[in-house]
Amino acid sequence: MKSLFDINFKNKKALIRVDFNVPLNENFEVTDTTRIEAAKPTIIKILEDGGSCILMSHLGRPNGIEERYSLKHLVNPVEDAFGVEVKYVPDCIGEEAEAASQALKPGHILILENLRFHEEEKSGDFEFAKALSKLGDIYVNDAFGTAHRAHASTTTIAQFFPDNKCFGALLSKEIESIKKVMETGERPITAILGGAKVSSKITIIDNILDKIDHLIIGGGMTFTFIKALGGSIGDSLVEEDKQTLALEILELAKEKNVDVHLPLDAIAADAFSETANTKTVSINDIPDGWMGLDVGPETNELFAKVIEGSKTILWNGPLGVFEMPPFSKGTIAIGEAIANATKNGSFSLVGGGDSVAAVKQFGFEDKVSYVSTGGGAMLESLEGKTLPGIAAILDED
């Protein structure tokens, strides 16, 4: 892998694609600095080598130039994070940006204006990428969150640095974590898939069945499986047209010797509300007028046993409607089981959307091996797709 730790950045200008798409409040103050913190290992390594950092990122979804999405709002937070002088230019390409890059001294940081103020960024425009490439000696991609997009700053630009491009520390860690599950994972390997719908997870299931020993299914998509198997699911979420597919998945799993674990019981509610009446019922016997909004205690026990016996664990998607406290126990129980397994030496990766939110909300972030920073990018990796931002560094098509 082309890692930045193989490069000495002394007197070099590193042009770094970071993901500084941070939330701002109405006073344009950054309300969550996680993404700035996440870029620290890369930026600090380069500064300590005696190089300088030119940071490029998108922020929000601007329609042309929109003041509220200006990266000038990040100058102070980045200065605070790194304790060095941070300069800013009001465009990411052109004479002023080139002059600012030329003038940048080793040990200093320059922030370019929002890449998406130019529509050529998202279209992956060649000339725009070329203009960006003039600003640095070495291209570093550290933005996993946009690695699945073939944009100018994530993909097209790499060709202008044939011998001078590498992954940043964060992106390397993401790639290694996925590899640890999908290629080199110690067995038994367990994947836990939750979330709302089978249809959004089918490509992932297809891709991982060859690689895993256990598949735990939870969340709303459970009920499409249960109904297809002849159970009564009351008013639970179901994708009627995906029942055949659910049965095919179970058949395929059997062929590939993957043990599929479906919930045994559910917390059923008489409305989709946190003030609904609830009761614990068998997963196959949910009365009409009731819907399964979380997995039940017997399920938690079963799933915990499988997880605690696994050496490699992948978790994507909550086990219930975790946003509502009465239906969050299954998701918390999974988090606890993964934390236990991790403490006992297993490798655990949490990735893609709501499970990441759940891990953070319930305080498991530091108790699992790795929490992915990229929702869509992680899902596409699990689907087995080659991400264009990664391929561009590796010179793959």
Position among 62, 185, 317, 389 found at the interface with ligand AMP (CB under 6 A): 317
Task: Determine how β-strand 138-141 pairs with β-strand 109-112.
Answer: unpaired
Position among 51, 145, 168, 220 found at the interface with ligand AMP (CB under 6 A): 220
Task: Determine how β-strand 86-89 pairs with β-strand 109-112.
Answer: parallel
Position among 47, 59, 93, 293 found at the interface with ligand AMP (CB under 6 A): 293
**Residue 318 binding ligand AMP, by CB under 6 A:** yes
Taking the C-alpha atoms of residue 137 and residue 156, their distance in angstroms, rounded to an integer, is 16
**Residue 388 binding ligand AMP, by CB under 6 A:** no
Catalytic residue among 353, 367, 384, 385: 353
Position among 321, 350, 356, 368 found at the interface with ligand AMP (CB under 6 A): 321
State the number of CA atoms in the 13 A half-sphere of 155 facing the CB.
Answer: 20
Catalytic residue among 35, 149, 165, 180: 35
Based on CB atoms, which residue is closest to ligand AMP, 124 or 351? 351
Helix or strand holding residue 302 (H, E): helix 297-308
Burial of 112 (0-12, 13-18, 19+ CB in 10 A): buried
Based on CB atoms, which residue is closest to ligand AMP, 200 or 282? 200
35 part of the active site: yes
Taking the C-alpha atoms of residue 292 and residue 48, their distance in angstroms, rounded to an integer, is 54
Report, in Å, the least distance between residue 260 CB and ligand AMP.
18
Based on CB atoms, which residue is closest to ligand AMP, 111 or 221? 221
Based on CB atoms, which residue is closest to ligand AMP, 185 or 375? 375
Taking the C-alpha atoms of residue 56 and residue 260, their distance in angstroms, rounded to an integer, is 44
Catalytic residue among 87, 122, 130, 197: 197
Q: Which stretch binds ligand AMP (CB under 6 A): 109-117, 151-159, 174-182, 312-320?
A: 312-320
Place of tokens 């988090």: 335
Taking the C-alpha atoms of residue 320 and residue 329, their distance in angstroms, rounded to an integer, is 8
**Residue 196 binding ligand AMP, by CB under 6 A:** yes
Which among 43, 55, 56, 52 has a CA at the least distance from the CA of 12?
A: 52
- Are residues 384 and 366 in contact, defined by beta-carbon separation less than 8 angstroms? no
Taking the C-alpha atoms of residue 152 and residue 116, their distance in angstroms, rounded to an integer, is 10
Residue showing the smallest CB distance to ligand AMP in the complex: 195
Report, in Å, the least distance between residue 304 CB and ligand AMP.
18
185 part of the active site: no
**Residue 197 binding ligand AMP, by CB under 6 A:** yes
How far is CA 25 from its chain centroid?
A: 23
Based on CB atoms, which residue is closest to ligand AMP, 120 or 354? 354
Taking the C-alpha atoms of residue 378 and residue 384, their distance in angstroms, rounded to an integer, is 10
Based on CB atoms, which residue is closest to ligand AMP, 92 or 293? 293
- Are residues 51 and 13 in contact, defined by beta-carbon separation less than 8 angstroms? yes
Residues in region 101-120 near ligand AMP by CB under 6 A: none
Q: Note if the bond before 188 is cis, omega within 30 degrees.
A: yes
CA dihedral 59, 65, 66, 69 (to 10 degrees): 20
**Residue 125 binding ligand AMP, by CB under 6 A:** no
Position among 263, 320, 374, 389 found at the interface with ligand AMP (CB under 6 A): 320
145 part of the active site: no
353 part of the active site: yes
Report, in Å, the least distance between residue 236 CB and ligand AMP.
6
**Residue 336 binding ligand AMP, by CB under 6 A:** no
Taking the C-alpha atoms of residue 89 and residue 181, their distance in angstroms, rounded to an integer, is 41
Q: Which residues bind ligand AMP (CB under 6 A)?
A: 195-197, 200, 219-220, 237, 292-293, 317-318, 320-321, 323, 353-354
